[in-house]
Amino acid sequence: MNEINRLPPAERIRALKRLEEERKGEIKQAEEMIRTSEREIDVAETMKKIPLPQMRAVDPSTLFSREEKAIFSIHHQTKMPGEPAREVSARVPSMRRGSEESLEETVAGTPTRKDEQAANFQYGKKLEEALHMAYKTLTEMSAKVGEKGYMSPGEQEAVDFYKSKLEKIHEAIGEHPESAGGAMGLMYGGLERISEMEHRMGYAQKGGDQGHNPKYRL
Residue 14 maps to a domain: no
**Structural domains of the chain, count:** 2
Same domain, 216 and 156: yes
Give the pLDDT confidence score for residue 178 in this predicted structure.
56
Rounded Cα–Cα distance for residues 214 and 18 (Å)? 49
Q: Look at 62 and 144; give whichever has higher pLDDT.
A: 144
Give the pLDDT confidence score for residue 81 in this predicted structure.
44
What residues contact residue 99 under an 8 Å CB cut-off, 6+ apart?
A: 65, 67, 68, 71
Residue 116 φ/ψ, nearest 5 degrees: -65, -40
Same domain, 91 and 134: no
Q: Look at 82 and 184; give whichever has higher pLDDT.
A: 184
Q: Are 55 and 73 in contact (CB under 8 A)?
A: no
What is the percent of the chain where pLDDT is above 70?
Answer: 44
Model confidence, pTM: 0.40
- The per-residue pLDDT of the chain, averaged, comes to 63
Structural domain containing residue 99: 60-108
What residues contact residue 161 under an 8 Å CB cut-off, 6+ apart?
A: 44, 47
Give the pLDDT confidence score for residue 207 in this predicted structure.
40
Residue 130 φ/ψ, nearest 5 degrees: -65, -40
Give the pLDDT confidence score for residue 88 in this predicted structure.
43
- Give the model confidence (pLDDT) of 86-138 as tens digits: 544 444 444 444 444 444 554 455 555 555 555 555 655 666 777 777 777 77
Q: Look at 117 and 148; give whichever has higher pLDDT.
A: 148
Q: Pinpoint the alpha helices (H) of the chain.
A: 2-5, 9-49, 66-76, 99-108, 113-148, 153-173, 183-201
Rounded Cα–Cα distance for residues 120 and 53 (Å)? 9
Same domain, 96 and 174: no
Same domain, 173 and 119: yes
Q: Are 197 and 141 in contact (CB under 8 A)?
A: yes
Same domain, 91 and 118: no
Same domain, 103 and 189: no
Residue 163 maps to a domain: yes
Rounded Cα–Cα distance for residues 124 and 128 (Å)? 6
Give the pLDDT confidence score for residue 121 in this predicted structure.
53
Q: How many other CB atoms sit within 10 Å of the CB of residue 153?
A: 7
Give the pLDDT confidence score for residue 142 in this predicted structure.
81
Angle at 107 between CA 106 and CA 112, to 5 degrees: 135
The answer on pLDDT for 75 being more than 60 is: no
- Give the model confidence (pLDDT) of 6-53 as tens digits: 888 888 888 888 888 888 888 888 888 787 777 767 666 666 665 554
